[in-house]
Structure 1
Amino acid sequence: MAAHQDRMAGSVEVCKRLFLGVALIVGAAAVLLLSDLRQRQATKDAGGGAEKQYRVAIFQIASRQILDDSVQGTIDGLAEEGLVQGRNLSVTRFNAEGDMVTANAIVQNILQGNFDLVATVSTPSLQTMANANRAGKLRHVFSVVTAPYGSGVGITGDKPGEHPEHLLGMGTFQPVRQVVQLARELYPDLKVAGTIINPGEACSQACLAMAQDECGKLGIDLLVAQVENSSGIYEAASSLAARGIEAFFIGGDNTVETSVESVFKAAVAARIPILAYAPDHVDAGALVGMGANYYEVGKAGGKLAGGVLTGRVKSSEYAIRDLMPRKLALNQQALAGLKAPWRIAPELLAQADILIDEQGHKTVRGGAAPVSTPALPAGKTWQLHMVSYSQSMMVEQWMRGFADACEKLGLRAGEDYQLTYRNAQGDMATANMMIDAAIDSQADILMTLTTPTLQAAVRKKPPMPVLFGLTANPLLAGAGKSDSEHLPGFTGISTMSDYEGMVVVIRECLPNARKIGTLYNPSEDNSVFNMEQMKEALAKAGLSMVTRATNEATEVPAAALALAGEDIDAICQVAGNLHDSSFPAIAQVARQLRKPLFAFVSGQALTGGAAIAVARDYEQGGRDHAALALRVMRGENPTAIPFAAISRTLIIVNTTHAAELGLALPPSLLQRADQVVDGKN
């Protein structure tokens, strides 16, 4: 919010200077619109006259892929109408990041900003803007709205004149009936499904009513859980799973969409699929995603906005309509591990616009992905400097994922980018020198791995973009106040462990457990944070934690021996640089004393001695890191990119390690694990 106000203040000062310049040149007084000087300079049209300049505000309620796609489509739609940024158009983007207090402040800024038009994407942004603009001070075009007639903004029908003069746009009702029908097709015995909604959202109420109607026709019992905010979503999803639902239907609710990973977490634990009203959810693990091509929806909204600005579209002649350019996404990988025999028929696979196969390979059919992607600057080899605090299995997995993603993204090593990797070997002074070396060499992007190297970068504030990875809590490391409000030039991929998921696994394996032990490093913020979070998660489940502090690798074997000698039921080693690199010593003690050993790093279960790992997929984290770097290389401002978590979590079970540690593995866990290995290699 402060950033928007700072921009507005800066714009006021620029306009004062512009006013003076024009007055001196033409000798006439005028009231100038607030604008950036560079974007307000008039270019000449073919006839030699000054081309009219337009100012457009684009307001989205949160950072979500479908909304980002829609915004890009809006900008491209304006361009198709002849309104091009930097020539005759200035676009200012506003994002409330899901906060309604921020949203209300944003709309006031827009109303006071002397814009020619505001374009909103999503129902909440439509409602917030329209309610503040009831007097019609500003022309308003909306898109990505489920049910405009029920949104309470004065739209009464689908005929010309049945909407306010200043307000027009299009609806995009999610294909609720089609998704419900498809669920029955994929699993004919489906009897009970569940959905989560925020009852305060008109769009979710509209989707719920249609889902209930269609489920009733098909004999499916639809259970509903209500939430007021995102903090209650995981509990709501878990409660539905406990009530025996066989599938989740999600979509049309902005509260749920912004924290949809909580639904996925509950679904994975219950081994039931998610069927979504948005195609992009298959990337996170949904079985089916059917919905609009939101780039095309946004483009239609942009073309409409351009028509309004240029006079081509007359509001009195315009009828609100529904637009649904359908896109079907299917995920064959999501079939693995489901309790019920869901099946995707070959003929349906052939219809998919997006398909993820059993190995996780993604195919986008019908040409390129909808969002226009800028090319890399021609002839430039990007210098990427990656600095790690220490070497560990996590770092190795991350690097493998990074290299794999670069290849799949079409980035050519030595041509498109040059990667310089440095490892501080656990020494903070060395890490600081490596950050300095990256700055001195004028690297294009600095990529930090682990919390200590991010902290070093935060202190030094390098002039180049900083993209962090392998950091559980970037806010604790000083990189920002929230995922969206952070230091200029900083963004990245966080790796906060799935503490609650681990507690579920421990309870599943050791139902009578009372005490769980771990080592931590009091001088490492990340280690302390992970220990405290795990302790809190255990306490919620009625378990206590026993801890031992170590500061050096040489202290780990004795500390692990002392910990295992306590009256504990298992060791659950929290993540941290010291104990990740010293994990073999911990595993050796656990094996000698036959103490079940749980870990948060997949490699520690695969070959490191742990029986089970509830792990962020660190190879996927490396892939996410590479994709993030590509976005910056293509011109995105890292300051505007919110922090994001690794997009996948795994359960890894090693039956040989479990036997060595005296841990009996429940069949239920073996069935839902992502990977079960029966040896050390």
Structure 2
Amino acid sequence: MRSIVLALLAATALATSALAKDVTVAVTAIVEHPALDATRDGVKEALAEAGFKEGENLKFIYESAQGNAGTAAQIARQFIGDNPDVIVPISTPSAQAVVSATREIPVVFTAVSDPIGAQLVKDFEKPGGNVTGLSDMSPVADHVTLIKEILPEAKTIGFLYNSGEINSVSLLAALKEAAEKSGLSVVESTATRSADVQGAARALVGRADIIYVPTDNTIVSALEAAVAVAEENKIPLFTADTDSVNRGAIAALGFNYHDVGKQTGAVVARILNGEKPGDIPVKIAAGTDLVVNLVAAKKMGVELPQTLVDRATKVIK
């Protein structure tokens, strides 16, 4: 009994000592858009709930790379020089930049679809080293099922993505596999810059029955351009992230990214309280919301099944 009490007192002392000192958490994202912004805000909220509050005992730094991989690398180097207690890169490009820049400062990545494919870790259960985090690998098979439920006659999915984003390449492979099982084919159209998104969307007109936008930061950052093409040509546009439905997609089945941020922040708090990142398994984010947009569906010439609307987590009217 005495040993248990001593162990509890030691754990309490460790947590108290972590809260007693000022800590710095540096957060970066490849670009600013609603899903990534919500993730950042969720991280800060979870830290506050764990006792790390900005302005009291927490210095919270945030930098956006504004869609530029070179800038992401510069931010990573800047953060390494600042030597924060934990770095939180949001998105695959930012995570790759940070992980390649340090082997010492703890890193908790988030909103990364394929951490192994992106060479951030070698194993989910035992990441080792100074890196752990959360994957937001999309439930692609469920997305195909959703598409078939809304548009049973659809034959071709237009996949709009940046071929330079490793997460999107991984999602394309997963989509092709799921689509084939459902009797659908996939056609691709790429945009490497946000300025190219409208042209890439237009390239799908006449080739695809629907447009599908994965959790691709280049495309999502300029989603309105793709939505305009979809509305003009009456092509239903689906997204993988629910935050994009409010911006004009007709439906999405995916994570609430504020919740993803909170799950990430909880991991950061564990590290601030003394745990080693390499001992914390990489997790796939929990929770799946269904969001539908009745206004967008009407503009794209689609009537959503009432059974779908009735079970939606959120309905935009």
TM-score normalized by the length of structure 1: 0.43
**1:156 and 2:125 correspond:** no
**1:120 and 2:89 correspond:** yes
**1:324 and 2:295 correspond:** no
| Matching residue of 1:348 | 308
**1:140 and 2:103 correspond:** no
Q: Is the 1:173–1:324 contact (alpha carbons within 8 Å) kept by the matching residues of 2?
A: no
State the AA in 2 paired with 1:322.
Answer: I
**1:75 and 2:49 correspond:** no
State the AA in 2 paired with 1:233.
Answer: V
**1:62 and 2:21 correspond:** no
| Matching residue of 2:10 | none
TM-score normalized by the length of structure 2: 0.90
**1:197 and 2:165 correspond:** no
CA distance in 2, matches of 1:88, 1:173: 33
Question: Residues 213, 110 of structure 1: CA spacing in aligned structure 2 closer, same or farther, 3 A cutoff?
Answer: same
Match of 1:303 among 253, 266, 269: 266
CA distance in 2, matches of 1:166, 1:53: 21
| Matching residue of 1:237 | 201
**1:315 and 2:305 correspond:** no
Q: 1:571-586 alignment to 2 at 5 Å?
A: none
Q: Secondary structure at the match of 2:37?
A: helix
Q: Is the 1:195–1:225 contact (alpha carbons within 8 Å) kept by the matching residues of 2?
A: yes
CA distance in 1, matches of 2:276, 2:24: 19
Question: Residues 170, 229 of structure 1: CA spacing in aligned structure 2 closer, same or farther, 3 A cutoff?
Answer: same
Alpha-carbon offset, residue 337 of structure 1: 4.7
C-alpha root-mean-square deviation of aligned residues, in Å?
1.9
| Matching residue of 1:278 | 241
Q: Is the 2:106–2:277 contact (alpha carbons within 8 Å) kept by the matching residues of 1?
A: no
CA distance in 2, matches of 1:187, 1:274: 11
**Could you list the runs of 4 or more consecutive aligned residues of structure 1 that deviate by over 6 angstroms after TM superposition?**
none
| Matching residue of 1:110 | 79
Q: Deviations for 1:406-434, whole angstroms, at most 9, x for unmatched residues?
A: xxxxxxxxxxxxxxxxxxxxxxxxxxxxx
| Matching residue of 2:151 | 187
State the AA in 2 paired with 1:194.
Answer: G
Alpha-carbon offset, residue 279 of structure 1: 0.9
Alpha-carbon offset, residue 218 of structure 1: 1.0
State the AA in 1 paired with 2:65.
Answer: A
Alpha-carbon offset, residue 305 of structure 1: 0.6
Q: Is the 1:81–1:307 contact (alpha carbons within 8 Å) kept by the matching residues of 2?
A: no
Alpha-carbon offset, residue 129 of structure 1: 0.7
CA distance in 1, matches of 2:130, 2:258: 24
Unpaired segments ≥5 residues, structure 1 = 1-46, 358-681
Q: Is the 2:224–2:248 contact (alpha carbons within 8 Å) kept by the matching residues of 1?
A: no
Alpha-carbon offset, residue 101 of structure 1: 2.1
Q: Deviations for 1:334-353, whole angstroms, at most 9, x for unmatched residues?
A: 232545xx432222212212
CA distance in 2, matches of 1:138, 1:338: 48
Q: Is the 1:287–1:334 contact (alpha carbons within 8 Å) kept by the matching residues of 2?
A: yes
State the AA in 2 paired with 1:259.
Answer: A
CA distance in 2, matches of 1:92, 1:224: 37
Q: Is the 2:50–2:269 contact (alpha carbons within 8 Å) kept by the matching residues of 1?
A: yes
Match of 2:188 among 224, 230, 240: 224
Unpaired segments ≥5 residues, structure 2 = 1-15
Larger Rg: 1
Alpha-carbon offset, residue 242 of structure 1: 3.1
Q: 1:319-468 alignment to 2 at 5 Å?
A: 319-339=281-301, 342-357=302-317
Identity rate, percent: 27
State the AA in 1 paired with 2:98.
Answer: M
CA distance in 2, matches of 1:322, 1:283: 24
Alpha-carbon offset, residue 316 of structure 1: 4.6
State the AA in 2 paired with 1:208.
Answer: L
| Matching residue of 1:370 | none
Question: Residues 316, 129 of structure 1: CA spacing in aligned structure 2 closer, same or farther, 3 A cutoff?
Answer: closer
CA distance in 1, matches of 2:246, 2:23: 37
State the AA in 2 paired with 1:257.
Answer: V
CA distance in 2, matches of 1:85, 1:99: 28
Q: Deviations for 1:636-666, whole angstroms, at most 9, x for unmatched residues?
A: xxxxxxxxxxxxxxxxxxxxxxxxxxxxxxx
Q: Secondary structure at the match of 2:202?
A: helix
Question: Residues 177, 113 of structure 1: CA spacing in aligned structure 2 closer, same or farther, 3 A cutoff?
Answer: same
